[in-house]
Structures are given as C-alpha cells and as structure tokens.
A and B are shown apart, each in its own frame.
Chain A
C-alpha cells in the first residue's frame, strides 16, 4: 500500500480530487470486502468474547538444547490443534507466539477443563513393559454408577465383574479379536501379506478372563514378575508395597503415582481403560517417545478390523522395539506380554505383544473408535517431539465479563473520540471540518481492516488492542495538528490560504513522516519481540500509525486543498479557524498581500 502512495503523492498535490476518489474507492472496497466475506465485525479475543486462553511455554528436554525451533513448534501446534479440536472444539485456536510460546484459545461454551487437560499434558512418552496390572480398588465406583454398590466393597470378586463389564463396552472389538489373541497376529500377517507390519492387540481390554485372573491373584502376578524381571531386590519389594498401596481410583493418588519415575527404574502407574482405572507395575522404559518417528491413525479397510494406529520408529527405536517385543512375546500370559505406552506417568494404552516386531513398523489395533485411534496417534507423535510444555498462564473470562469489558472499551473510545472532537472544534473551528472527517475515515479504515484481518491472519481484537486503538486517536489527531499549525504559521507570515496550505504541506509532511516512523518503529519492535497481551497492543498501534500516514496523505491534505478554495476559508472567516486577524498575522504584510499572492503561487510546485 505504501509504494503506490508515495509515487502518487506528488500528483495528488495538484489534483486533490483524484486522491480523495482513491481513498473513497479504498474505503468502499474494504467495507465491500468486509460485507462480502461476511466478517462485519472484528474477531474478538478471549478477554472480550469470553473463554479460556492458555499460554504454554516450550522447554528443552535435557540433552536436547536446540529443540525449540520453528519446525518443532509448528509440529507441536499442529498436534495440539488436533488434540483439542478432536474434542469437538472446532473453534479452538492454537498459535505460536514469539519463539517459544504457544497460545491456546478456547472459546466460551466448550469444555474448557477437558481441553486444558489435553493441552497441558506434558508429553513424556515411554514404552515400558507391563509387569503387573489390575483393576484398582474402588474403580467400579467411578466407572459405572450401576456397579457402585458392589464396587464399593472393593473386594476382588466385585471388581472383576465390573472390569469385565467395562471391558465389554470398549472391547467389543477386542473380545471378538481376543479369542484369536494368539491367532490374530498370524492371521493379520497373512492377510496383509506384509512381513514388516506386525499386529499388536490393544489395551488390557483382553477380555474378562485376563482381568479375572489378574484380579484374582495380584500377589501371584506380582511375585511372578518379581521372579521374572526384578530378581527380588529391595527396590522390587518397595515397588510391590507401593503397588499394593496404590489406589488409582483416587485422583490424589493418581496425581502422584509414577509421575516422578526415572525412565531407567521400574515404577507404578495408573491407566484408565473404558472408564475403569487400572494400576500397573511397569518395568524400566525400553523405548523413548522420541524413538517414534511417526504415528498415525488409519482405517484398516483390508482386514476390516477398524481403526488402528500405525507407528514408524527411527532406526535406533526400531531395534529397541524389536528387542522389547521379542522379550514380551515370550510371556504368553497377560499382563506380562503387554507393554505400556506411558505418557507423563499415565498409561494411555497397554497393547499385548504376541511376537517380536522387527522392521521399525508396528500397528496397534483394537476396538478403537476413530477418535480414540487419532488421540493415541497424537499422543505417540507428540512424544516424538523433544519438547515439554509448561503452562504459563490460564485466563478464563466469562462471557458476561467479556461483554462488559468490550462495552467499557467502546465507551472509553467513544468518550475519548468525543473529547478530542470537542477540543478540535473549540480550538480549530472550521478546520475541524477537515479534522473530524479525517478521524472518521481513519476509524472506518481501521475497523474494516481489523474485520478483514480476523479470518486472514487470525487477528483477534482484545482489550489491549482496543486500548491501542484509543491511544491512536491521539496520534492521528496529532498529524492534523502539526499540519494545521504549519498552515497557521504560514498565514501568520502573511500568506493567503492557498499558498499557505501548499507551503505548509511539505514541511508538515516531513514532520508527520518522521514522527510516525518513530511511533511505528516502537510498535514493530514491540510486536516482534514481546509476548502475550503486549503484542496485540503493538499490532493495533502499528496498524493505526500506518493508516494515519495514509489518511493524512490521501484525505486530509487533499480535503484541505479543496477547502482552501472555498471562500469561507480563503477569506479567513472568523469561524474558519484561519482568520488572519485572529491568528495575529503580520499586519504590515496585509498591504503587500496583493503582490504576494501571485508571487507565492509559482513557488508552490517547486515546494511540492
């Protein structure tokens, strides 16, 4: 926009009508575009419309100092976007801000708590072999209200029916698959005809029989795992004690269980399957989340086994995964042939393994819905990012307060504008006929551009932005003041209005450009460097500064030139604001005014 303007400004001097027409066309085009695209109001930010805004800060994982870069951040944004919008929150917006921050804006009316949980989950993903697993005591209470009576007894017999009930709801697919628990890998291998891809069974879903056995003899399994892997060390007994004490149905215990575990140690953890909390003993992490190169949810059309998650491992990861699956496949019984996919201390999935999976590709299948499969895939690919995120701020604004703030902001703007207009009228009289329309043109342009920027660059009008716009009234008005004072100075020197306007303009123009540049520089630096609310403010300030230059060049000056031809102004009417007597023009020059007019005339083009 700036380039053509500069070229034309010279000709605009002599043809004020043309630049006026130009800006009118611009206004019509912008407002037309605004109505045509249906964005008649600027998009409102969370603080004005209500909703929740979360700021996350990326942090490098130890040993990966340069992980915060554009690619990784964009991947993180993409994954988060899918995660939150997977909740059915299509309006949720995830954006990077600055170099290391991600802003998540969740509009009003969506389940902000759930979205927040999704977003705020710190992604530390490990694959750990499962050593023991059982339904956690009291799980039935939270799982199924119908079973609450029996579940409250927390005895193992009551737990196992509830687990079977719960597994039946998720594992309709798996129960159909679980009979073939031993057969399915081979069948899928043959049907798919791919040697590299191996099938895993999803979840602990594996049927009532498995859960019954695990719940029936927790001591047996734990002792078995102790003998199998941990070789009865002190750590193992401590773990066992922890495991026995752990009650995953309690949120307070869940919050701490396994969260601080080192990857190299065995740990306890909780995991939820179909609404039932299970507790686990997990071996040391064998595969890192960063070993996963890619994960995606696909619909398997060939075997009609529904949604599944395909993983691709990196070179090192493929080997590690082959090793661990080879070991696990030796354990024929549940749950020791499972590995837990542990995200931030919580088991998100624990598929069974029936044979060693080599080649770096694996599939997790089960009775996934599309959403479940996608969510698991997201978790898996999220783990591939060597970044963790820390919640820096969470702002929740009710729609009522948002509306109130918007109202107050608009009111403040209106009052500010009115005060400025009153001041201009009082001080500049007739000249306010130039100033007020200029302010209005500026306001219309700002509004239209803000509305159009909403869908194009995700500009959202927030409270600081409103503030910026209000402050900009002053900056815009100041440009007129610089110009008007220059004209007055010229009149004081004894010139008539028309030459005065033409002589004043080049000087005023330079002042306006220089000072607007400083203002714009401030806005630009703030916009690039800062984060959060400051950025919105800087953006509006910069936008309005640019518009100020456009308006002064294309509207104020031409309008002034036109008005200078009117008798009302040219004759220096008392109310024109340009009354030479009132301004105290040099009295003696009055005498020489007649010769001065023509003399001053030819000077103008030179100056312009």
Chain B
C-alpha cells in the first residue's frame, strides 16, 4: 500500500502527529511576517496593473518577422504613446499601448498593420477605456465584500461565530499574501488575475470548512469528558484531515498546473495564464492557512471561553493525577490493553486511554506494531 495511506492511518490513530496548535505561535509569527512583507511590497512597489486597469490597447499579431524593437518604434509612431512589446511563443508579438483612447485604436491598428506588413484582419486587438478597469475592480471588491459578509453569516450559523471569524482571518490572509506576491514579483494584474483571486475565496474557505467540519464533529461532546482540551481535539482534527488536505490541494493544483504550463508555454501571456497563476499562488496559501492559521485561531478563541477554561483545568488536573498514577504502576502497563480493544470503535478520542500524558491521542506506537 502507498506510504501516504499508512501515514494516513498513523495520523488517524494519532501515532504520529504534528502539534499544529502547540506550535501555533511560530506559525502565527511566520504568517505575520509574510503578511507584513506582502503589505510592504504592496506599499512600496505597488501592483503592476495591466492595460485593462489603466486603459489602452493590446494588439496581438500572428507570426511575424518584425523584431521587438522595431515593433516598439512602429507602435510609438502609430499611437504617440510608449509601447511595450513582447514576443509570444507562437512567434507573434504582443504590443501593449497604455493610455490610448479607444477611438484612436482603429487608426493605430491600421497603421501598425501597414508598418509591419501584416493583414489588419489578422491582428487581435483589445481596447479598454480607462474607467473599465475601475469598473471591474470595483465590482470585484463589491463581490468580495458581499461574499465575505454572506459566508461569515453562513459559517456562524452552520458552525459558530468563532469559526466564521477564524475563516475570515484566514481568507484575508490568503488574499493579502497573493496580492503581496503579485506586488513583489511584479506580475501583471489583469481581469484574469482578479478572477483567480476571487476563486481563491471559494477554495480557501472550502478547505477550511472541511477541517472545521471534522472539528465540530469531534468536539460535540467535549464537555462530557476530561481527557482532552479543545486544543488537543483541534490538533487531532487537523492531523486527521491532513491527508485529505494534502490530497485536495494536490488534486486542485494539478489541473491549475496544467493550465499554467499550457497557458505559459503555449500562448504566452493571456487569460489562461493570468487566472492559473493567481490560482496557483492562492491555492497554496489557502491550504497553508486553513491548517496553520484558521484552526489554531479557533482553538485560541475557544480556549478563551469560560467553559473551555474550566475543561482545560479539569483535564490538566486529571493528567497530573494520571501521571502520578502511571509512575506508580509503570510495571502494569501491558495489562491495560484488552478492555480498551473490546470497546466499539468510535471516531473521536473518547475511547482513548488516558494512559499517556502527551497531548494527542497518545498511544505508544512501539507497543502496537
């Protein structure tokens, strides 16, 4: 069987687990650092807004022998504005002219066609008025706002407000990081990027929701036991769904990687590329944040509840007691196995022995295997 399956089993039983909650301070730190970097990047470098956001024209020619420098001169002459020319994978050229009026575009296109000796009908053009990008961006912000409000309401109803809040923080985290990377690397921002970014909304939450779902299920009767604190269970939830999280992310990234590969390799710059690039960055950030940020945050918020505080006290007291007992009865450990095995298997940590003082579902793995 595959290694991951085995890993899944061991994670499931808690034989191995990574203490996500315990080390949350580190990850918060990492995230804050990345976020600050992203914000600084945004503030200092700003986003490289594409033609769609500043108005202008993009002409794409079919395969041509005109060089990039030549095309730049032609474009400058034809339009009276500076032009940026890129060579495409297809052998064609992509000529971007910022700040050009939509009305002047036809003349410019015709002139370019004669200069470069290509059929004007074979030139693709994309002309954008200066306020259109604002319209797209404003609508996107509007959509973002509405979505966030709705999703917080939904999560607050389906789960609870703490989870909704944590999910929101994770979401903002993802978006900040993604835009920050765009600012730092200097990728061009196009409507395609916005599409990608907005998709991350759904995806980032999708991932978070699955972890929360398992968390909710496992903490249903949390106050009726004294073995685990909320954080312990949260940690177990993350570990239990870790294999799924990895699988989901991989499966989501694979098609996006395909898009990126094809979009970048085949077409050069274009919508496909823009969407998949921001998706790729955002998905990675989303997977990270649902594990390292969202769930620990929920745990933090939950532990602040008086109920959970009381529980934690009880658990700690019990553990101290158990530890003391264990020390005395170290020799008898082997005998404790049978009754526990006969118990019906129930998901969740309730049937776990308290024989260990470790946080997770501590079962001495050495003895099992």
Contacts and interface: CB of A to CB of B under 8 A. Distances in A.
Contact of B8 (A488, A517, A541): A488
A582 B5 contact: yes
Interface residues of B, number: 93
Q: How large is the interface on A (under 10, 10 to 19, 20 to 34, 35 or more residues)?
A: 35 or more
Contacts of B263: 408, 412
A589 B345 contact: yes
Contacts of B258: 412-413, 415-416, 419, 470
B217 A519 contact: no
Contacts of A592: 341-342
Nearest to A599: B344
A470 B259 contact: yes
Nearest to B6: A584
Interface string A446-475: 000000000000000001101110110111
B158 A514 contact: yes
Nearest to B149: A525
Q: Which of B4, B191, B206, B346 has the most CB of A within 10 A?
A: B206
Given A467-B271, A474-B251, A521-B154, A398 B121 contact: yes
B347 A481 contact: no
Interface of B: 1-2, 4-6, 8-10, 12-13, 52, 60, 62, 90, 102-103, 105-106, 121-129, 131-132, 135-136, 139-140, 142-143, 146-147, 150-151, 154-155, 158, 191-192, 194-195, 198-199, 201-203, 205-206, 209-210, 213-214, 217, 240-241, 243-244, 247-248, 250-259, 261-263, 266-267, 270-272, 275-276, 279, 337, 341-342, 344-347, 368
Nearest to A424: B251
B198 A464 contact: no
B252 A398 contact: no
Given A390-B129, A393-B127, A525-B143, A519 B203 contact: yes
Nearest to A463: B271
Contacts of A530: 136, 139-140, 142-143, 198
B interface majority secondary structure: helix
B105 A394 contact: yes
Q: Which of A398, A417, A495, A510 has the most CB of B within 10 A?
A: A398
Interface string A377-420: 00000000000001111111110110011001101110111011
Given A396-B124, A464-B195, A416 B132 contact: no
A395 B272 contact: no
A538 B147 CA distance: 13
A251 B124 CA distance: 25
Contact of A411 (B131, B191, B198, B266): B266
Contacts of B12: 489, 492, 584
Given A519-B203, A584-B10, A592-B342, A485 B147 contact: no
B255 A416 contact: yes
B151 A405 contact: no
A350 B98 CA distance: 40
Contacts of B62: 398, 400-401
Contacts of A396: 123-126
Nearest to B51: A393
Given A427-B2, A518-B209, A55 B132 contact: yes
B262 A415 contact: yes
A485 B8 contact: yes
B272 A525 contact: no
B68 to A, nearest CB: 19
Given A398-B62, A478-B206, A529-B146, 10 more contacts: A394-B125, A405-B267, A412-B262, A416-B255, A424-B251, A474-B251, A482-B244, A510-B213, A533-B192, A537-B199
B139 A529 contact: yes
A521 B202 CA distance: 8
Interface string A196-239: 00000000000000000000000000000000000000000000
A176 interface: no
Nearest to B15: A584
B135 A57 contact: yes
Contacts of B2: 426-427, 429, 582
Nearest to A525: B147
A562 interface: no
Contact of B271 (A464, A477, A493, A525): A464
A592 B217 CA distance: 26
A397 B126 CA distance: 8
B142 to A, nearest CB: 5
B275 A464 contact: yes
A526 B341 contact: no
B272 to A, nearest CB: 6
Given A390-B129, A464-B195, A473-B255, A534 B124 contact: no
A420 B123 contact: no
Contacts of B13: 492, 584, 586
B289 to A, nearest CB: 15
